[in-house]
């Protein structure tokens, strides 16, 4: 007769055998197991942060490359740039896509996503590390279009739906009360349609000089249009200019083109539930902020010269490790001297009014306008 042990006895016996094997294991074997080297996958993912950018037609890809050179140390820190499909999709990726830690987004895209209640809890799902550079609004038109008013009821490409350009262009056209027929082609496709006359103009938001316009020549008649400024426009955007220095083949030496710019912002996802990723981004912030001065050296994009690490984004919360770094290093990241800012601002106003043939402003008027700009920059309404 075959006798079966009750199941609890079998389980107990199995456990006892494993305990006996462990007890008899040599100290050398145990030590080897404890000190086993990390896997290749573990090493490859150590300190990795993924940064989503806009398309290569703009400059955010180049900015990301500069960050790679500063941050990556070949062992414990690594930035992996990811080219996004559109600003609003980038916002969604920050919340939902596995692995996307940070993104470079326009400030007005963030505001638009919040106004439209793009998703619940956006204020707590996204915070910012720092304001980066300004991105200028470019409006390139055909020869027969002499001013922006000539675009009324004409086809104007505003990039793909959900892009930063599409959002900014709609806002600006609404603010200046200009009705156009929007077209949603990728910028390089739109450029060909502009040449053939299928569209009257194309709008594009990017830090100047934008690579999209590198190979254009003024001899073909394509030119940038000036954007008229009014009180409504200056509430959300900062005055800017496109010059011959930026685009020597498109802008005459003596005729700069007035436009506006919007801030590009380095934002971060809510990583509180992912301790490793939170720690990696905090490590990135420390290395980026500490090594920021190296980005101002020749060889990096000139837009880094516009960055003020301590600048705030009104209405949004700064990422805690970034705020903590700034509190510890206020002198390193201090804002420009107010007197220097006023001097640059008044010089800009004088040049702009001279180029447009307008009556010069008094010093008091320029100071009042500067204070209005400073209130806009800090998010104050009074």
DSSP character at residue 58:
S
Return the CATH fold of 41-335: D-Maltodextrin-Binding Protein; domain 2 (3.40.190)
CB count, 10 Å around CB of 363? 9
Q: Strand, coil or helix: what is 76?
A: coil
- Tens of each residue's pLDDT in the chain, 382 residues: 444 344 344 334 443 434 333 444 454 544 444 566 667 666 667 788 999 998 888 899 999 999 998 888 877 889 999 998 889 899 999 998 888 999 999 999 999 999 998 888 898 899 999 999 999 999 999 999 999 999 999 999 999 999 999 999 999 999 999 999 999 999 999 999 999 999 999 999 999 999 999 888 776 889 999 998 788 888 889 999 999 999 999 998 888 999 999 999 999 999 988 999 999 999 999 999 999 999 999 999 999 999 999 999 999 999 999 999 999 997 655 545 555 566 667 766 676 666 556 677 777 777 777 776 665 555 544 4
Give CA 323 to chain center in angstroms.
18
At residue 260, φ and ψ (nearest 5 deg) are -135, 170
Q: What angle do CA 228, 209, 351 make, to 5 degrees?
A: 45
Whole-number Å distance between alpha carbons of 20 and 329: 57
**Taking a C-beta distance cutoff of 8 angstroms, is the pair 238, 378 a contact?**
no
């Amino acid at each position: 007769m075959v006798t079966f042990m009750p199941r609890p006895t079998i389980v107990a016996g199995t456990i006892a055998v494993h305990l006996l094997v462990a007890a008899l294991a040599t100290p050398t074997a145990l030590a080897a197991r404890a000190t086993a080297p990390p896997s290749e996958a573990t090493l490859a993912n150590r300190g990795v942060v993924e940064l989503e950018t806009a398309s290569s037609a703009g400059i955010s890809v180049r900015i990301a490359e500069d960050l790679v050179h500063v941050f990556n140390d070949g062992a414990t820190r690594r930035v992996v740039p990811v080219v996004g499909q559109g600003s609003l999709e980038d916002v969604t990726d920050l919340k939902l896509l596995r692995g996307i830690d940070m993104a470079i987004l326009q400030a007005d895209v963030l505001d638009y996503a919040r106004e439209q209640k793009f998703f619940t809890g956006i204020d707590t799902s996204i915070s910012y590390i720092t304001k980066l550079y300004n991105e200028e609004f470019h409006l390139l038109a055909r020869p027969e279009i002499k001013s922006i008013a000539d675009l009324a009821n004409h086809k104007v490409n505003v990039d793909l739906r959900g892009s930063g350009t599409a959002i900014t262009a709609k806002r600006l056209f609404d603010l200046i009360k200009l009705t156009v027929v929007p077209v949603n082609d990728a910028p390089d496709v739109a450029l060909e349609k502009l040449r053939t006359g299928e569209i009257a103009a194309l709008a594009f938001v990017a830090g100047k000089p934008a690579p999209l316009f590198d190979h254009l020549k003024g001899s073909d008649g394509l030119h940038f249009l000036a954007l008229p400024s009014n009180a409504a426009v200056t509430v959300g955007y900062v005055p800017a200019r496109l010059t011959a220095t930026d685009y020597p083949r498109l802008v005459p030496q003596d005729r700069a083109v007035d436009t506006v710019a919007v801030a590009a912002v380095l934002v971060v996802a809510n990583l509180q539930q992912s301790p490793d990723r939170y720690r990696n981004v905090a490590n990135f912030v420390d290395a980026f902020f500490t090594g920021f001065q190296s980005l101002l050296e020749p060889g990096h994009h000139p837009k880094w010269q516009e960055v003020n690490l301590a600048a705030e984004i009104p209405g949004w919360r700064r990422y805690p490790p970034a705020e903590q770094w700034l509190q510890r290093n206020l002198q390193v990241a201090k804002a420009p001297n107010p007197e220097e800012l006023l001097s640059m601002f008044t010089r800009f106003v004088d040049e702009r009014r001279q180029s447009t043939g307008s009556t010069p402003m008094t010093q008091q008027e320029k100071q009042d306008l500067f204070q209005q700009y400073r209130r806009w920059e800090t998010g104050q309404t009074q």
